[in-house]
Amino acid sequence: MKGEGLRVCSANGFTLLLYPESLFDTGTGIEAMKGELSNYSIELSLQLIEFYRYLSIEQKEFVMSKQILRSGTSIGANIHEANYAVSKADFINKLQIAVKEAAETEYWLIILERSGFFDERFLPLKRLLDSTKRMLVSSLNTAKK
C-alpha cells in the first residue's frame, strides 16, 4: 500500500519522510548510508517540486525554475543510480555527478534569492540541500578509501 512503512522524522528544521531501508538494500555493506542519503535526496526532490510550483505559479518565473528543478531532482536520480553501480568506480562517479548537481542547485538558489524570487517558507529547502551536499561529500570520501 502507498505510504506503508514510511516514518516521519524532524531534523535540522525540516521534516523528512523516511522510506523503509529495504527499498535501498543493495547488498554492498553500506546500505544504511545509502538509505539515509536516498531519503534525503527524495525529500529534497519533493521540496524542489513544491518550490518549482511556487516559482512558476505564484511568481510566474519559468526559466530559472526549470533549471533548479532539473539540477535538484538530478541529485536524487544520480544517488539512486549509484545504489545500483556495477563497480566502486561507477558508484564514485555517480556520487561525484550528484555533488556537481547539488552545487548547481545551490547556485540557482542563490540567484533566485538575490533576484527576489525566494520566499522564507523555503528555508528548510536550503538547509536540506546543504545537509544532502554534506552527506554526499562524506559518502564520497568514505567510498574513495
In order along its 145 residues, the chain shows pLDDT tens digits of 344 555 555 555 555 545 455 444 444 445 555 689 999 999 999 999 999 999 999 999 999 999 999 999 999 999 999 999 999 999 999 999 999 999 999 999 999 999 999 999 999 999 999 999 999 999 999 999 8
Burial class (CB in 10 A: 0-12, 13-18, 19+), 19: middle
Cell 533549471 sits on residue: 67
Residue 35: predicted pLDDT: 85
> Using CA atoms, how far apart are residues 62 and 56, in angstroms rounded to an integer?
6
CATH number for domain 7-143, candidates 3.10.450.50, 1.20.1440.60, 1.20.1050.10, 3.30.70.520:
1.20.1440.60
Angstrom distance (rounded) from CA 143 to CA 18: 23
Taking the C-alpha atoms of residue 36 and residue 137, their distance in angstroms, rounded to an integer, is 14
Can you give the pLDDT at residue 13?
Answer: 58
